[in-house]
Amino acid sequence: VSGRAHEKIVSQGVNLSDVIRKASQRSNIETLGGGHPPAAGTKIPIEKVEEFLENCDIVVRNQMHNK
């Protein structure tokens, strides 16, 4: 999984490196993922994709809300 964010989104408080790490933790996935605020990625088991993406949404919403 890889993601990229427009600078407008990053300026609103989104850090995709943190999103990847926190969504992995929330999904109980042990992985080495990361990157930097505008771009990040990781490898996840196929059976965890839906849960992981849902957790990414939650983390992004929290980041934008807490800015």
**Which DSSP helix (H) or strand (E) runs through 51?**
helix 49-65
Domain count, the chain: 1
58 has pLDDT over 80:
yes
**Which DSSP helix (H) or strand (E) runs through 3?**
strand 2-4
67 has pLDDT over 80:
no
CB 12 within 8 A of CB 64: yes
44 has pLDDT over 80:
yes
Measure the CA–CA gap between 33 and 52, rounded to whole angstroms. 13
What's the pTM? 0.91
Tell me the pLDDT band of 25, cut-offs 50, 70 and 90.
very high
Residue numbers of the domain that contains 35:
2-65
